Amino acid sequence: MPEFLLEVGTEELPALDAPVLAAALARTLEQGLKEARLPFQGTEIYWTPRRLAVLVRGLPERQEDLVEEVRGPAVVVGLDPDGNPTQAALGFLRKYGASPEDLVRKKVGEKEYLFLRVRTPGKPTGEILTELIPPAIRSLPCRKTMRWDSSGLSFLRPIRWLVCLLDGEVLPVRLGALEAGRTTRGHRFFGPGEVELASPGQYVEALRAARVVADPAERAEMIREAAARVEAEHGVKALWTEELLGIIVGSLEWPAPVLGEFPAEFLDLPAPVIAAVLHEEGKFVPFARDGEPAPVFLGFRDGKEDDRGHVRRGYERVVKARLRDARFFFENDLKRPLAERVPDLRGVVYEARLGTVWDKVQRIREICAHLSRHLWMDAAEREKLEKLLDRAAFLCKADLTTEMVKEFPELEGVMGGIYARRSGEPEEVARAIEEHLLPRTRSDELPKTVLGTALSLADKLDTVTGAIMIGEVPTGSRDPYGIRRAANALISLILRKPLVVDLFDVIDAVAEFYPRLPGGKGPGEVKAFLVERLRHILRDDHDIPHDVVEAVLAVPRGDFLGLLERARALASLRGDAALAEVAQLFERLRNITGDHEETSFDPQRFQQEEERELWRAYLRAEGHVRRALEGRDYVAALKALLPLGEPIHRYFERVFVMVEDEGIRRNRLSFLRALLSLFLEIGDLSKLTT
């Protein structure tokens, strides 16, 4: 069966973009083939910095023929009383080159029509592909596009060649100034230059012979194996990050390891600084021995082992120079205690309307002061922790003025912690500063200490509150202040830690510290934004069914953890018959109480036994529910509510609520409203779909 190869040859693509583009190219192609009725056995994706390729296996020679039923005139119009075609029917037949015996009668609704089965012969596969390719390439989702010639074509980097091979045949594809061929290119320095491909199937091996590993998974394996060899030989452990591996895989066509060393005298630099120097630009893999930095690093040269050590010497020279720079920054930074730098933050703009970083620090301190009331119940402990937390908040942004953080922005926070320790600040304070940017994303590592957690919460809450109060609410994909990410991290910190804190309460308490501007928003919008993020997180990260999420969020609360726990409780009982019944009755309760808000009632004025029965059940349930809520046992609370189903049911059967007598009516409504409020402690059960 025919095979097809598409290769888009480029100048070096950014390392992390190539995989995204290659996957998109395959997807677009697969989609196009399906729409063109060209089934295939499978696709294989290959890419390097200089090429995106898709190999399609098991294609048919041509499209399947398309058979469609076409509707012609109605039978009464198309056939005369003898059953012979009229002029109208003959015209219809001529249009499709068919004869009268091809006509079929079929009913559509009440009327009968003449139909033809029309067969459109399928086109050869090559013809379809030739049309498919140029738009597929043009539609690739580039992060940024550029022009390189006057053909009007734009892409992430210049496209320099194109291979379109269907079995042995070149398809006549044109793209911008390029014409497709069968010629690919090998490695820039260690390949034979141009490589002719006889057929798609030999792509991977032909490139391998030209010193290119086209399969990114294979390159990743070569890189990991090289690191594992160093680990085994030197008794060290590689310090990988996902991004580092991605960048190395994405910038090489043939990874060849080069092991380097740096002088041990630099080992007194903090480990994160050494890692930052080596990670810079995704170049070198750092190693640790017994948890401490080891004076070796692994780089990767493209194409060939470094037999004569030229490359190793070059790498070592660069690393040494950068470590020397880092030491220079470090020693300079240490000349001033961290606290002395804090006033300099008055000169660092955070956001024009939100003031300087100094102003942000003051707001973070206010938030911390309010948070501590939520986080620490024990008064004696609170006093001690409050002081430490305030100190950490005061210092947490001071490292922004250090040379090291200016040079390595990813060390923000980490350096603050190191410098705090060196300035003689308490260890708890240093740790809190070190941890206060964690988690950076929903899935990132969390702060370990209680102070770091509080500080992180305060910092993120300020970021979100500030941006929304000045009207910078993210829309669509636009989120210039990174508010969504900050809010996600904040919520994920609360849910994963987990933390009991009423965010709404804190937001109300600190709202006065933010500017009120025309076009700005209020605390209500901040809360609504956070609830909206919570909605996504409950669904995506905690697998809470959609209807359960809606049920608990219908009654917004600042205690996000409580909302998650309520949702879990509801989800665990979802499908339970008693719950389903209660959910239905809930709806009736709500409809009948309408906008009646009064909840105090007088049991003395109940007239019917069903009222008193429900009242007794309510009293029993209420006690259980309140106790369960206090203990944050939402399953128990929910279970305590379920026995109310039966008495409510009887009540609705026997008791007529909307009686003439206003006193009795209002008393009944107030009672039902109180009952409803008890249910609302869990959520709006009417949102449940089962």
Neighbouring-strand partners of residue 79: 85
Can you tell me which of 1, 11, 66, 690 binds other proteins, judged by CB under 8 A?
11
Distance in angstroms (rounded) separating the CA atoms of residues 546 and 540? 10
Can you tell me which of 111, 119, 310, 448 binds other proteins, judged by CB under 8 A?
310
What type of residue is 651? Y
Q: Which is nearer to other proteins, 257 or 562 (CB)?
A: 257
Can you tell me which of 114, 204, 311, 433 binds other proteins, judged by CB under 8 A?
311
293 binds other proteins (CB under 8 A): no
Can you tell me which of 232, 352, 377, 379 binds other proteins, judged by CB under 8 A?
352
Neighbouring-strand partners of residue 66: 120
Asked if residues 678 and 626 have their Cβ atoms less than 8 Å apart, the reply is no
Can you tell me which of 315, 376, 408, 504 binds other proteins, judged by CB under 8 A?
315
Q: Looking only at residues 107 through 166 of this chain, which bind other proteins when binding is defined by CB under 8 A?
A: 144, 146-150, 157-158, 160
Distance in angstroms (rounded) separating the CA atoms of residues 460 and 363? 11
Q: How many CB atoms lie within 10 A of CB 524?
A: 13
What residue has token string 């210039």? 480
185 binds other proteins (CB under 8 A): no
Q: Which is nearer to other proteins, 113 or 161 (CB)?
A: 161
- Please compute Rg for the chain using Cα positions: 35
Question: Smallest distance, Å, CB 246 to other proteins?
Answer: 13
What type of residue is 598? E
Angle at 674 between CA 671 and CA 677, to 5 degrees: 155
Can you tell me which of 14, 60, 124, 337 binds other proteins, judged by CB under 8 A?
14
Distance in angstroms (rounded) separating the CA atoms of residues 49 and 18? 7
Q: Which helix (H) or strand (E) holds 330?
A: helix 310-333
Q: How many CB atoms lie within 10 A of CB 449?
A: 15
Angle at 430 between CA 427 and CA 432, to 5 degrees: 110
Three-class SS state of 7 = strand
Q: Which is nearer to other proteins, 267 or 318 (CB)?
A: 318
Question: Smallest distance, Å, CB 406 to other proteins?
Answer: 11
Q: Which stretch binds other proteins (CB under 8 A): 184-192, 236-244, 432-440, 481-489?
A: 184-192
Question: Smallest distance, Å, CB 218 to other proteins?
Answer: 20
Q: Looking only at residues 332 through 351 of this chain, which bind other proteins when binding is defined by CB under 8 A?
A: 347-349
264 binds other proteins (CB under 8 A): no
299 binds other proteins (CB under 8 A): yes
Q: Which is nearer to other proteins, 99 or 150 (CB)?
A: 150
Size of the site for other proteins (CB under 8 A): 43
Can you tell me which of 25, 223, 258, 454 binds other proteins, judged by CB under 8 A?
258
321 binds other proteins (CB under 8 A): yes
Question: Smallest distance, Å, CB 487 to other proteins?
Answer: 26
Phi then psi dihedrals of residue 133, to 5 deg: -65, -55
Cα of first residue to Cα of last residue in the chain, in angstroms, is 50
Q: Which helix (H) or strand (E) holds 503?
A: helix 503-510
Among 442, 466, 460, CA closest to 537: 442
96 binds other proteins (CB under 8 A): no
> Residue numbers of the site for other proteins (CB under 8 A)?
11-15, 49, 144, 146-150, 157-158, 160, 188-190, 251, 258, 281, 283-284, 299, 301-302, 304, 306, 308, 310-311, 313-315, 317-318, 321, 325, 328, 347-349, 352
